[in-house]
A and B are shown apart, each in its own frame.
Chain A
Amino acid sequence: DTAVSQTPKYLVTQMGNDKSIKCEQNLGHDTMYWYKQDSKKFLKIMFSYNNKELIINETVPNRFSPKSPDKAHLNLHINSLELGDSAVYFCASSQDLADQYFGAGTRLSVL
């Protein structure tokens, strides 16, 4: 039973499209995150939600909008996709300030 699951695993789309990535955790954690990993494996936090409230919002274009309908879900919507958005996006969760558990990632390719 997967602890942190993301869908889809792969996403190929054209520039200018709008797409969403979904994330769900069944660990009962109250904090969820989105990270972006570039082609050189560098991992950068984008957003963090604690109990459905946004607590970290790094310097991310406002084309990216996270949505947390409940504590177990944190979805990422991206408008007007650009070539530079191609990356692997990871969702993660933790209980308060404890260790983070990561999903398997969504590989986004913008053509």
Chain B
Amino acid sequence: GDSVTQMEGPVTLSEEAFLTINCTYTATGYPSLFWYVQYPGEGLQLLLKATKADDKGSNKGFEATYRKETTSFHLEKGSVQVSDSAVYFCALSPQGNTGGFKTIFGAGTRLFVKA
């Protein structure tokens, strides 16, 4: 079945460091791919998404590129801030099912950013 694998955390970085959180997926066809962020005590918020191969999603300085050949959607940010400390979830929706109904989430990666 479809699945999402993301790197285990926690990831601890100093402010202004470069961030990469790896995410790979297993799915048939061309699923839509997402990154959600969960700040402490809050629900998940959509951070960015990509709906077809080679698309780049970006928001708030974060970006991720849909790589069909490596079935990956790695999250990157050039310079993290303390306020980026949160749990990040990679997710997919099967082809023809963008975002709703059966979205499959990865296990989440906790990011700590130190001042």
Partner-B contacts on A (CB < 8 A): 4, 31, 40-45, 48, 50, 55-56, 90, 92, 94-105
Contact = CB atoms under 8 A, between A and B. Distances in A.
B93 A103 contact: no
Number of chain B interface residues as a range: 20 to 34
Interface string B42-85: 11111001000000000000000000000000000000000000
Contacts of A42: 105, 107-108
B41 interface: yes
B102 A104 contact: no
Given A42-B107, A43-B105, A102-B44, A97 B99 contact: yes
A90 B93 contact: no
A75 B40 CA distance: 24
Given A41-B87, A41-B108, A99-B49, A104 B42 contact: yes
Interface of B: 34, 38, 41-46, 49, 87, 89, 93, 97-103, 105, 107-108, 110
Nearest to B44: A102
Contact of B93 (A48, A56, A97): A97
B107 A41 contact: yes
Nearest to B32: A97
15 contacts: A41-B108, A42-B105, A48-B101, A56-B101, A90-B43, A92-B43, A94-B100, A98-B100, A99-B49, A99-B99, A100-B46, A102-B43, A103-B43, A105-B41, A105-B43
